[in-house]
Amino acid sequence: MRVLIVEDDDAMASALEAAVVSAGHKAHRVSRGADALLVHREHDVILLDLGLPDMDGLELLRKLRQVTGCPILILTARDDERSVVLGLRSGADDYLVKPVKLVELLARIEAVTRRTGRGGPGKSHSIVLGELDVDLDRRVAAIGSRVLPLTATEFDLLALLARNAGSVVTREQILDALWGDAFLASSRSLDVHLTGLRSKLQMPGFIINVRGVGYRVEAEPA
């Protein structure tokens, strides 16, 4: 994985770079949002600090989401509910509060690697549920001719539920599949991503809440 680190604190950036490289990934660090906009195309995942010297990190996140579907993980000292929700709704795939546990960070990056590398030979490359077509190779979902503007995590959530259409997928299974550990503090992230996915699908009743258990897609595969 080519990891772009957007961090203006030299000590934090050095620690992140060392952790990323130790896990076998390539790391490149920039300290300004403008520089991130210039080089984001060369990377597979972005670690984004919100406190940047030239622009607010949420503004940068929104600009990045207009031009890339690359997974973005926010790393920040802002731990209030409003910042978390704003970050996730603006397109972040995950949100970690500083000081970041490097082992946890690497687990999240590895989860992204698994998600983007899924779908080997012999597996179905497309899932069709009524008018919904989920193309696993191109990572594109469409309802008829309407392409859904999904974030990377929203697509993975939709693909997971669609693969298991008709069956209940528990919250723990979703957290484990998308974030790599069902017991990491990602439950709030799941709720925000699910809300965003439902809003973009515009298909009331398609994703059913199974109280106290998880979620089920009602449609049967075509």
pLDDT digits (tens, 9 = 90+) for 129-181: 989 999 988 899 999 999 999 988 899 999 999 988 888 888 878 887 777 65
Half-sphere exposure of 105 toward its Cβ, with a 13 Å CA cutoff?
29
The residue with greater pLDDT, 119 or 89, is: 89
**Beta carbons within 8 Å of 44's beta carbon, 6+ residues apart:** 1, 2, 3, 70, 71, 116
Q: What is the reported pLDDT for 116?
A: 53
Q: Which residues of 143-168 are buried (b: 16+ CB within 10 A; e: fewer)?
A: beeeebebbbbbbbbbbbbbbebeee
- The answer to whether the predicted template modeling score (pTM) of the entire model surpasses 0.85 is no
- Give the H/E segment covering residue 146: strand 146-147
Q: What is the pLDDT of residue 196?
A: 93
What is the C-alpha separation between 109 and 74, in angstroms, rounded? Answer: 12
Residue 33 binned pLDDT confidence (cut-offs 50, 70, 90): very high
- Tokens standing for 65? 């989401």
Is residue 89 within 8 A of residue 65, CB to CB? The reply is no
Distance CA 124, CA 115 (A): 15
pLDDT tens for residues 64-80? 887 777 888 898 887 77
Mean of the per-residue pLDDT values of the chain: 84
